Amino acid sequence: MDKEDSRRKFIAISGIAIAACSMRSTSAQSSSQKTRFQIACMTLPYSQFPLARAMKGIQQAGFKYIAWGTTHRESDAEKSVPVMPIDGTESMAKELGKRCRDHGLEPVMMFSMIYPEHPGAVEKLTQRFKQASAAGIPQVLTFGHTEGGNRSRWIEVLKQLGPVARDLNVTLVVKQHGGETGTGKACAEIVREVNDPGVKVNYDAGNVMDYLNVDPLPDVVECASEIRSMCMKDHRNWPKDEDCAPGLGEIDHYRLLNTIAFTGMAIPLCCENIASPLLPRATTPEEIDAQALRTRIYLETVIAGLHARR
């Protein structure tokens, strides 16, 4: 084969590869309608303060949506208590949902605090679905252990949970947390094997970069069609290895969100880490309020720019 034939063959192969990448990158954008991004703040950044103060701060920072974190300290002398105990009743969840709406905040997600490989995971996650349904929360979040995970067990459990979630008008979303489920591609492969619309992917770009040092931009393309929400955090590898607020790390959120910017669906973006890199952590709720405001404005700016392109 002469040089000219080799050149033609290289061009042809490159063209096929580029076309394939283009098809994958637009797979989640089959709709011409804009994604209805629901920018939510988790209560998690306020975990050292009472839940009521978290709601107040999130509302004053201009958010319309809220995601239930894990625990809060309700007093200086009290240990952290769950936002919603695993054994909490449906009436408790309904009342908490009402409290959120009384603050002008629509709850869109809750942490399950249950790994799929945990003993009793089906029963415990079913209880979480009932709580979410009672509170009017559309998504329950789960993830695996940072050191690995039993993939076959995940498939078994998630196949049982999918129909239960759908019956209660809830979606179970699985996010990356290191180990065997540390990438969006790995989570999407599990979700596709489960093959139930009640089980989908939550994408956490910060975790992908943090735990595995994987670039989230090509990874998000691998799971974009399965994404139904995102946990928003950024990450820096330099000058210090740490998570931080969206827009203050090394992840390009224009490219990240562009993969799901035109799905026609409602997709919650739940802000999990809103801290500033390198600086000391906030010690007052007012400092966290300011971080929440900055994060909301940043994400709104990114989304407005992406949607203005069409």
In sequence order, which ranges of the chain are alpha helices (DSSP H)? 3-25, 51-60, 90-102, 121-135, 151-167, 184-194, 205-212, 216-223, 253-258, 285-307
Between 1-5, 18-22, 116-120, 189-193, the lowest mean confidence (pLDDT) is in 18-22
CB 149 within 8 A of CB 117: yes
Of 63, 126, 116, residue with least CA distance to 268:
63
pLDDT digits (tens, 9 = 90+) for 268-307: 999 999 999 999 999 999 999 999 999 999 999 999 999 9
CB 234 within 8 A of CB 249: yes
Domains for the chain: give ranges and CATH numbers. 35-307 (3.20.20.150)
The pTM assigned to this predicted structure is: 0.90
Q: What average pLDDT does range 138-144 have in this prediction?
A: 96
